[in-house]
Amino acid sequence: VARAAAAQRAWAAAAPADRARLLRRFAAVVDGHVEELALLEVSEAGHTIGNARWEAGNVRDLLEFAAGGVERLSGRQIPVAGGIDVTFLEPLGVIGVIAPWNFPMPIAAWGLAPALAAGNAVILKPAETTPLTALRLAELALEAGIPEHLFQVLPGHGDTAGDALVEHPGVAKIVFTGSTRVGKQIMAKCADRVKRVTLELGGKSPNIVFADADLEAAAAAAPMSFLDNSGQDCCARTRILVQRSAYDRFLELVAPAVQAVAVGDPLDDKTQMGPLISRVQLDRVRSFVTDDLTAVRGSAPEGPGFWYPPTLVTGAAPTDPVAREEVFGPVAVVLPFEDEEEAVRLANATEYGLSGSLWTRDIGRALRVSRAVAAGNLSVNSHSSVRYWTPFGGYKQSGLGRELGPDALTAFTETKNVFISTEA
Ligand code: NAD
Ligand code: MN
């Protein structure tokens, strides 16, 4: 932390154009190593190669995007009597980024890129199970000419390495992505020092299908909206709410679509879904899908590996754990609703509020329901993935603060107001 703080002071004092240029160079070096980084993620986390390439490319894009913000991080000039009043967006100092194992590269970059661009140093604590791409990114940063100690990686366990960053008085802000349970503990500890904190936590996102929707399109899109990354995705649309008058037809359409998902070798370009990350995660997923539940199941390879088939649970009550808790595996529930009012009520009947989708041809309804669902990221007639240039974050217990988007850099600054008298 002391070394990061020293590097940060020099970094913040450098010309904005020089900082931007170094971040663009870092982006270019990442771009030259997309394949290597992707293969590392396949071997470490079992991501499909297509996803892993996208993830490494996302790091590059975030660095480019953030680099474009360095010279645009302007304060304001506010009218006052007797002088001028200006604001400065000053860097916070050393930022601790604590990342989860489900999307190691993108989530590291969501913190890393805008924090560096705003003039901060970053210490990244990757998840225990996925340190390799983080360590490689730190090497690539040095290769690109990013000053030594400005971006450091501290691998280790959460309650040791992660907690050390949370407790350290020299770390100005914690950016945490992970479980709601750990996020609450971190927020409580940060409160002690009024340390800044951004939290990206869990989700149990709805996918609301109205009877007036293009049912073929809704059914075709539903499987990968909860199966991408084997469902280890905080935005996974795992509660499929279907208007009762279209329920049977939707199931007829979605069941074969779930069964058609290609599950297998992550290195095969045609594979859509790979294994789960670990034995622990596999056991956790299994515990949710009890024998009394009716389900549509896809296929998964036999033999070694943490395989679980795509699973659509049709017989659950809204109060069952599988319908309420975050499974973080390839499992979704389908639940019927009568009308728009009930759809909104069911969608909001959760402590989470990260994402959601709704399918309808009625534009008024699309807007009403988008406004009524208490979640940070909604998509209409699609399951849009996270875009680095639009804001992302959760309502309720899905998080605190926003990342990405036009204000990404501002989250890593403190606003200082200065009044200068013209009468002295
Ligand atoms: P986790 O909360 O156990 O761990 C996340 C990170 O926090 C890891 O790096 C871990 O080492 C660290 N950590 C654990 N205990 C800590 C402590 N006491 N002090 C400091 N750091 C600590 O979560 P996980 O099992 O790694 O990831 C799965 C969870 O992450 C899911 O619940 C998922 O919804 C959530 N997630 C949320 C988002 C989002 O953007 N909202 C994105 C990805 C994952
Ligand atoms: Mn954990």
Dump pLDDT digits (tens) for 257-268: 999 999 999 999
Backbone angles phi, psi at 195, to 5 degrees: -70, 135
The C-alpha angle with vertex 183 and arms to 110 and 56, in degrees rounded to 5, equals 25
Residue tagged active-site, from 234, 235, 326, 340? 234
How far lies 192's CA from each of 70, 97, 185, in Å? 31, 19, 11
Catalytic site includes residue 234 = yes
pLDDT at 288 over 90: yes
Residue 155 has pLDDT above 90, yes or no: yes
- At 385 the pLDDT is 80
CA distance 383 to 186: 31
What does pTM read for this prediction? Answer: 0.97
Q: What is the mean pLDDT of residues 339-352?
A: 98
Q: Judging by DSSP bridges, how do beta strands 94-98 and 121-125 pair with one another?
A: parallel
One-letter amino acid for residue 214 of the chain: D
Beta 196-200 vs 399-400: how paired, if at all?
antiparallel
Please tell me which residue in 200, 326, 340, 403 is annotated as part of the active site. Answer: 200
Average pLDDT over residues 372-376: 98
41, two tokens: 């993620």
Which of 234, 324, 351 to mutate to test ligand 1, by most ligand atoms within 8 A of the CB atom?
234
**Using 50, 70 and 90 to split pLDDT, how confident is the model at 331?**
very high
Query: What's the CATH number of domain 206-380, 3.40.309.10, 3.40.50.720, 3.90.1150.10, 3.10.20.30?
Result: 3.40.309.10
pLDDT single digits (tens) 103-142: 999 999 999 999 999 999 999 999 999 999 999 999 999 9
Share of the chain above pLDDT 70, in %: 100
Query: How far is ligand 2, taken at its centre, from the CA of residue 11, in Å?
Result: 34
Please report where in the chains the tokens 């998080």 appear, as a residue.
399
Helices 34-45 and 16-31, packing angle to 10 deg: 60
Amino acid at 370: S
pLDDT over threshold 90, residue 384: no
DSSP H or E stretch at residue 36:
helix 34-45
Cα separation, 372 vs 399, whole angstroms: 18
Report CA(105)–ligand 2 centroid distance (Å). Answer: 17
Kindly give the distance from the C-alpha atom of residue 366 to the centroid of ligand 1, in angstroms, as a whole number.
Answer: 33
Angle between helical axes of 16-31 and 104-117 (0-180°, round to 10): 160
As for ligand 1, residues whose beta carbon falls within 6 Å of it are 98-103, 107, 125, 127-128, 157-159, 162-163, 166, 177-179, 182, 185-186, 200-203, 234, 326, 328, 354, 394, 398-399
Distances (CA, A) of 156 to 56, 98, 104, 140, 183: 22, 11, 14, 20, 17
Q: Sorting pLDDT into bands at 50, 70 and 90, what band is 197?
A: very high
Say if strands 377-380 and 355-359 run parallel, antiparallel, or are unpaired: parallel
CATH number of 2-201+398-421: 3.40.605.10
Same fold, 2-201+398-421 and 206-380: no
Give the residue-averaged pLDDT of 313-329.
95
Distance 327 CA to ligand 1 centre (A): 14
Write out 274-308 in H/E/C secondary structure: CCCCCHHHHHHHHHHCCCCCCEEECCCCCCCCCCC
Ligand 1: which residue has its CA nearest to atom 31?
179
Residues 379-397: b if buried by 16+ CB within 10 A, e if exposed: bbbebeebebeebbbbbbb
Q: In this predicted model, what pLDDT tens digit does every residue of 216-257 receive, in sequence order?
A: 999 999 999 999 999 999 999 999 999 999 999 999 999 999
The confidence score (pLDDT) of residue 176 equals: 98
**What confidence tier does 315 reach under pLDDT thresholds 50, 70, 90?**
confident
Q: Give the residue extent of every domain in the chain.
A: 2-201+398-421, 206-380
pLDDT value of residue 424: 79
235 among known catalytic residues: no
- How many whole angstroms separate alpha carbon 328 and alpha carbon 158? 19
- pLDDT of residue 12 exceeding 90: yes
Query: What is the pLDDT of the chain when averaged over all its residues?
Result: 97
- Residue 178 CA: which ligand 1 atom is closest? 30
Q: Which helix (H) or strand (E) holds 399?
A: strand 399-400
Q: How many residues does the chain have?
A: 424
Residue 19 has pLDDT above 90, yes or no: yes
